[in-house]
A and B are shown apart, each in its own frame.
Chain A
């Protein structure tokens, strides 16, 4: 009985993460995007904490705490400040329409499930669905990175990929170094955000639209 429940709750969180990934895809305001990302981080930290509980692996609580503290609070707050400072709270500028992006997203989730489920038959039920969900989140994050022009949305896309990876790593029962890897990843993410902040892309380019960056390509005649 307990096992059944444990699995169901794990799937609930992992599935919830895929759902929030979809929500990230259709945001049309910067503020909403950042808030949604904070929700993404909360769901992933819940998921990791649940894995820590059912696998009886206390070190995973550290990963959960990092996810919650850094990605649900510190980074969204910093991003909100950047958005305010730069005055870009309305601009999302998707490359293709939101409807098309959502359709592509559904296709990617189907792909992830079709790829992962057959080949992970040996890996155990828990890891199996977790991996399929994790790959979905990763692919959706990639989709978000290519379908947005804005530097801040690209960073959020990247951080959602990272959440998917943490889900995969904690789902692989007994994987060593998960905490170290999540710390290394957090440093990377923190650095990106600091990078946007310090380099003040706006100051140099008047916009955080990365297409504006292409004007400075070294090789235009």
Chain B
């Protein structure tokens, strides 16, 4: 119950909203990129305040142990992406792929997206959360189509149709949850508030909750990119500007997963309701299996890593579906590290696509020779994302597999095998990209390495030595989830 906490929560929402408004009006692109960075940094600062000072739950907004992790991750990656975006966009302007008018729109949409994601994470009301996720979908659709090439328009259209159907299903689920709650909580805002719902979930009608969860899992699961609802994801990643690919993979998928987790908590609190775990485990495992094999056939570098995102969201959903303190801990850790790693990879890939002038992998060779820093960063990123030691993802994947072994050996074997398949595909592809004789063009580009190395350093540190405070925090959150 502190004023500083309440102020921070307000600022996390107000800063991006105001920045979006300003950026929509600001014509100069240099200043706009700086303002974008400044706003993202200010939001990150406010998010850090929430660690120490936390306001009580209101009717619409709430800060609890679970969403603090997501908010800090969200604002941190949001800030580093804005740094990357500044150099990326400068190059796009020079090559004429984007005009200043579109750039203004891009920056305004970037901050609107940050606002929508923060709102979804902070909301204490399932209706408000739905509106926020919808706003986030809309802004990303607009940004995916920003290059206006036929491929970009198709990607935006596909994302738009699938995403809208997804959020429509999620809304129906939300209405059903309200109906389930109304009988025991009574009409009004309380029947849509998280903290009230979780507290009183034991008294809800289990049949209604079951049906609601199916709709919610399918609806928000579309946005998580779970197979078979993933069709929009590779296209949207490949055709939009790369900063957006980074934000999509690193953050928006997490926000959708966060929504699923919130509803899972309600389901678990009701003794009569269907166990949500098996559903999530099967969707997660299916995603991992499918994406691992699909990785082999990719020809486009951004699509390759988009499929890798499907794989990792599958692992995370699998871990949360297994439940229990250890699997939840592994899921949380994996989610955090995946966000950091995947966004850093997209920063590299964005610059690579700019210097080579193409995203086709067959036209990119020998990066470690022609562009040593970029090439080795990509190799490092691939090693990390494939789950090899010493990077942090090795530890979290190891935890997921071992915690599953103790309970469901067959599932663990399946998961382990598909992880190996994915590892093979990634190493094969990256070997072709990074080594050998360089060929093709090499444009000049100002590369910003700071965000890339900052992310990799964090992932490496997490793999070697996790700070005890962080472990304790994640363990606490994991126990809350189970």
Contact = CB atoms under 8 A, between A and B. Distances in A.
Interface stretch (A20-28, A58-66, A67-75, A166-174): A166-174
A101 B185 CA distance: 41
Interface residues of B, number: 50
Contacts of A199: 145, 148, 153
Given A115-B211, A158-B164, A165-B172, A172 B178 contact: yes
B162 to A, nearest CB: 10
A158 B131 CA distance: 17
A99 B156 CA distance: 32
Contacts of A115: 211
Contacts, number: 128
A174 B187 contact: yes
B299 A221 contact: yes
A173 to B, nearest CB: 7
Nearest to B130: A181
B128 A177 contact: yes
A168 B240 CA distance: 35
A116 B176 CA distance: 10
Contacts of B138: 187-188, 191
A120 B154 contact: no
B311 interface: no
Nearest to B211: A119
Nearest to A127: B179
A174 B188 contact: yes
B168 to A, nearest CB: 5
B432 to A, nearest CB: 16
Nearest to B186: A174
B242 to A, nearest CB: 14
A192 interface: yes
Contacts of A204: 150, 153
B194 interface: no
B150 A165 contact: no
Given A123-B179, A213-B150, A218 B300 contact: yes
A191 B135 CA distance: 12
B272 to A, nearest CB: 12
Given A119-B207, A217-B151, A158 B161 contact: yes
A118 B207 contact: yes
Contact of B168 (A138, A154, A172, A219): A138
Given A199-B148, A218-B238, A173 B187 contact: yes
B150 A219 contact: no
A139 to B, nearest CB: 10
A185 B208 CA distance: 24
A213 B157 contact: yes
A214 interface: yes
A11 B156 CA distance: 38
A218 B156 CA distance: 13
A195 interface: yes
Interface string A201-219: 1001100001001101111
Interface in A140-197: 142, 145, 151, 154, 158, 161-162, 165, 168-169, 172-177, 180-181, 184-185, 187-188, 191-192, 195
Given A204-B153, A218-B300, 12 more contacts: A131-B176, A138-B168, A172-B179, A175-B178, A177-B125, A177-B127, A177-B128, A177-B131, A181-B171, A184-B135, A185-B134, A218-B155
28 contacts: A119-B207, A119-B211, A120-B179, A122-B183, A123-B208, A131-B179, A138-B172, A142-B165, A145-B161, A161-B168, A172-B175, A172-B178, A174-B188, A175-B192, A176-B189, A176-B192, A180-B128, A185-B134, A188-B164, A191-B142, A195-B160, A199-B153, A213-B150, A214-B154, A217-B154, A218-B235, A218-B303, A219-B298
Top-6 shortest CB links A-B: A174-B187, A119-B207, A177-B127, A216-B150, A213-B154, A184-B131
